[in-house]
Copies of this chain bind each other. A is one copy, B any other.
Amino acid sequence: MGDTDKNSPIGVFDSGVGGLTVVKELMEQLPKERIIYYGDTARVPYGNKSRETVIRYSREIAGFLCEQNVKAIVVACNTASALALDELNKSVEVPIIGVVKPGARAAADVSKKGKIGVIATRATVNSGIYEAYLKGKKPEIEVFAKACPLFVPLVEEGLTDDPITDSIIHMYLDELLEKGIDSLVLGCTHYPLLKDSIARVVGENVTLVNPAFETARSFKMLLEEKGLLSEGKEGQESENRNMFYVSDSPDQFRSFAGNVLSIGIGAEDVKVKAFAG
């Protein structure tokens, strides 16, 4: 683990801005931890890319975070968790978790009928990873997965509450509802921002599972187990503030953080770090 200790920062990365939904949960559940976030905004989205490309990008970013002496890493991106976590586990020396396993575990716990819907990017759905985890936990579980590529651009257009969005939610989810699902994993970091609209369409008999929340819980347990919980003051108040790195212009990143997630990030707290390509 090099020269890291329990008061070293934690690393969080995502393909772009969406991972800030995970940061928000981490800030609430682990207020003493200092966060170094990397958002690959120049190469976003990962959701339609191949496994090889997502692994290559994820390795670069994890390597960069390790150079910042993080004590542990959260892969906040569902696609990177689905496609690259196994590879990262081989090459990264600090503890590392993704968002898929915590999300799947919560869904298995919450589902009474064992009929679980998973919505995610095309790459995550094609990986079959949610299904593998869920069936690994309870083999009798039935999983109905659906890629919803329009959800991310809808969120980024600010259409989180709009009749058009409701139509698109129906287009994607009606077939899952016909299968009788009783829980639905929001398997992409942007989707929790559509939570209210999705809840309205699927009705109260379907429980929505937010992997961001579950991941922050699991990560807290992981740090406890490893004796890595920070003893410091609350991160946001200490002089060692959270740091954000992006591969493209910081402005859109800060504006999304402020507008959509109510996370205020100062201009001096966002730096550009692009990789060679």
Bound form: Cα–Cα A91–B83 in Å: 38
Chain B residues within an 8 Å CB radius of A199? none
Q: A167-B167, A168-B164 are in contact. Are A52 and B277 (CB under 8 A)?
A: no
Residues 151-180 of A contacting B (Cβ, < 8 Å): 152-154, 156-157, 163-164, 167-168, 171
The contact string, 1 if C-beta is below 8 Å from chain B, for chain A 28-48, is: 000000000000011100001
Chain B residues within an 8 Å CB radius of A53? 42, 247-249, 274
A137 adjacent to chain B (CB < 8 Å) = no
Most buried by B among A49, A163, A274: A49
Min Cβ gap A18→B in Å is: 13
Chain B residues within an 8 Å CB radius of A171? 164
A149 adjacent to chain B (CB < 8 Å) = yes
Shortest Cβ distance from A153 into B: residue? B153
Chain B residues within an 8 Å CB radius of A252? 48
Chain B residues within an 8 Å CB radius of A225? none
Bound form: Cα–Cα A276–B150 in Å: 29
Bound form: Cα–Cα A62–B274 in Å: 20
- Contact, CB under 8 Å: B164 / A153: no
Residues 218-277 of A contacting B (Cβ, < 8 Å): 247-249, 252, 274-277
Q: Which residues of A contact B (CB under 8 A)?
A: 41-43, 48-50, 52-53, 56, 60, 149-150, 152-154, 156-157, 163-164, 167-168, 171, 247-249, 252, 274-277
Can you report 5 A-B residue pairs in the complex whose CB atoms are below 8 A from each other? A53-B247, A149-B153, A150-B150, A150-B154, A152-B153
